[in-house]
């Protein structure tokens, strides 16, 4: 094997399989890179999920007031916003691999600082840095997977990404139950898991980053028709998921359920979200993005209707989990379809920023409606958002929802269309 073939095999770029003399080498290289990326994501997301749960518990044990704990938790999400904006400058200059390593080091440093930290400003600063690290990891991995894939494979790649993300979230919750009570020992265990996330990335071979284009910015993405629909879908996805995470336990408790049963129902909801990733992602590649987004909107409306009527709770949660948890990756693939590689990072920034804004605004608006009227307003608000998005998709998506045609079939299709032999 020549040196040129070896470099092409491990190049971290979007490559058409038809360019290879042996397509199985392309698939082997693609799978190798995807597995390494997702392995690093698995370990690092486990760290973030563990800290998001255990830090409020530590603060509560120190007799910190609830409103101060809320401020510390909010600083993490403010860091998410800052990290999303920072990623657009970091990735084009340093590349995916270096950006991932830097974000991991930020996470390890902020976790190690949890041992001696004290005071409200210290806790908020540490969690703010952790939020920056978390957003950097999201943008790096999502953009890398979008760059590796094509229009006909990105839905499946992002489905695998979301499955790994939610599995790591569950592992993080389980890890909280086995960590020692001593803060120093627990922090050291969490740091060790974070160090493990570096091992797959160290052996990952990446090409040089794409040169940034002058107008490849977040604001430029908003003036394109397809990204505008994706941005709206990301905002609505953030509203729905933010309401589910923040208010669904309260909704179930007000129905007279114990904390144990609330845990069971939430586990069912999240489990359905994991199971629904691959079918909807694959369907988006085959049937088209608009078709799947409209189907997901219909399913969210139906599930919320069942919740509002207080019937078939288990069926409603399964449908809601499958449709709502897979909504964001499909909107992400829609926004990145037919975009040049240089625009993938700013597009990913735009959608992640939109999702974060929705996840912050959703619980606040929905909780005020619940307090003003009744708990039934939670599913009603989610149904209204999904219905609004459905109407926009029906109006604007009639001619945009055809499935992506693989590159190796385009020549055959064009010849048949024009009657060529």
Cα end-to-end span (Å), the chain: 36
Instruction: Give yes or no for a contact between 201 and 33, defined as CB atoms under 8 angstroms apart.
Output: no
CA 107 centroid distance within chain: 18
Task: Give the Cα separation of 45 and 388 in Å (integer).
Answer: 32
Task: Give the Cα separation of 132 and 360 in Å (integer).
Answer: 16
> What's residue 415's pLDDT?
45
- CATH class belonging to 215-407: mainly alpha
CATH of 19-209, one of 2.40.50.100, 1.10.3720.10, 1.20.1250.20, 2.40.70.10: 1.20.1250.20
Task: Give the Cα separation of 295 and 324 in Å (integer).
Answer: 11
**Tokens at 128, concatenated:** 């703010």
> What's residue 299's pLDDT?
92
**Tokens at 267, concatenated:** 């586990």
Contacts of residue 206, defined as CB under 8 A and 6 or more positions apart, other chains included, come to 12, 95, 96, 97
Q: Do domains 19-209 and 215-407 have the same CATH topology?
A: yes
**Tokens at 186, concatenated:** 């627990």
CB neighbour burial string for 267-280, b if at least 16 within 10 angstroms, e if fewer: eebbbbbbbbbbeb
CB neighbour burial string for 27-53, b if at least 16 within 10 angstroms, e if fewer: eebbeebbebbbbbbbbbbbbbbbbbe
Instruction: Give yes or no for a contact between 110 and 130, defined as CB atoms under 8 angstroms apart.
Output: yes
> What's residue 225's pLDDT?
56
Instruction: Give yes or no for a contact between 220 and 338, defined as CB atoms under 8 angstroms apart.
Output: no
CA nearest to 172, candidates 40, 53, 270, 55: 53
> What's residue 405's pLDDT?
46
> What's residue 101's pLDDT?
87
Burial of 298 (0-12, 13-18, 19+ CB in 10 A): middle
Question: Which residue ranges make up each domain of the chain?
Answer: 19-209, 215-407
Residue written as token pair 């094997």: 1
Instruction: Give yes or no for a contact between 229 and 397, defined as CB atoms under 8 angstroms apart.
Output: yes
> What's residue 123's pLDDT?
84
pLDDT in tens, the chain (421 residues): 444 444 433 344 444 444 444 445 555 666 777 888 888 888 888 888 888 777 777 877 777 776 677 677 777 878 888 888 887 778 777 888 888 888 889 888 888 887 777 677 888 888 889 888 988 888 888 878 877 777 677 777 777 888 888 888 888 877 877 888 788 888 888 888 888 888 888 777 665 555 555 545 556 565 565 567 888 888 888 888 877 776 777 777 777 776 667 767 877 888 888 888 888 888 887 887 888 888 999 999 999 899 888 888 888 888 988 888 888 888 888 877 766 666 777 777 788 788 888 877 777 777 777 777 777 788 888 889 889 888 888 887 554 444 444 444 444 444 444 444 4
């Amino acid at each position: 094997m020549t040196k040129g073939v070896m470099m092409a095999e491990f190049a971290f770029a979007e490559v058409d399989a038809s360019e290879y003399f042996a397509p199985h080498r392309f698939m082997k290289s693609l799978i190798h890179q995807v597995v390494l990326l997702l392995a690093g994501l698995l370990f690092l997301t486990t760290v973030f999920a563990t800290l998001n749960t255990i830090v409020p518990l530590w603060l509560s044990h120190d007799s910190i007031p609830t409103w101060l704990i809320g401020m510390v938790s909010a600083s993490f999400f403010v860091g998410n916003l800052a990290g999303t904006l920072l990623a657009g400058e970091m990735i084009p200059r340093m590349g995916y691999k270096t950006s991932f390593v830097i974000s991991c080091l930020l996470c390890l440093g902020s976790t190690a600082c949890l041992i001696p930290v004290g005071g409200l400003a210290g806790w908020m600063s540490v969690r703010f840095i952790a939020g920056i690290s978390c957003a950097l990891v999201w943008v790096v991995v999502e953009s890398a997977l979008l760059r590796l894939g094509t229009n006909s494979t990105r839905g499946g790649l992002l489905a695998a990404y979301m499955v790994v993300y939610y599995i790591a979230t569950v592992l993080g919750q389980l890890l909280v139950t086995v960590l020692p009570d001593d803060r120093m020992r627990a922090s050291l265990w969490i740091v060790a898991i974070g160090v493990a996330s570096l091992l797959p990335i160290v052996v990952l071979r990446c090409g040089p980053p794409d040169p940034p284009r002058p107008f490849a910015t977040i604001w430029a993405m908003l003036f394109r028709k397809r990204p505008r629909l994706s941005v709206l879908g990301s905002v609505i996805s953030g509203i729905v998921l933010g309401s589910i995470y923040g208010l669904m336990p309260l909704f179930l408790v007000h129905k007279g359920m114990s904390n144990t049963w609330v845990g069971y129902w939430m586990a069912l909801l999240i489990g359905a979200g994991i199971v629904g990733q691959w079918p909807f992602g694959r369907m988006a590649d085959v049937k088209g993005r608009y078709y799947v987004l409209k189907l997901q909107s219909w399913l969210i409306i139906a599930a919320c209707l069942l919740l509002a009527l207080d019937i078939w709770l288990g069926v409603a949660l399964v449908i809601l989990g499958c449709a709502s948890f897979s909504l964001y990756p499909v909107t992400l693939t829609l926004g990145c379809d037919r975009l040049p590689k240089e625009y993938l990072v700013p597009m990913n920034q735009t959608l992640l920023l939109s999702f974060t804004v929705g996840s912050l605004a959703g619980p606040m608006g929905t909780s005020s409606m619940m307090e003003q009227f009744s708990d039934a307003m939670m599913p009603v608000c989610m149904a209204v958002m999904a219905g609004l998005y459905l109407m926009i998709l029906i109006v604007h998506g009639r001619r945009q929802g055809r499935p992506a045609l693989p590159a190796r079939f385009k020549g055959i299709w064009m010849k048949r269309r024009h009657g060529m032999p």
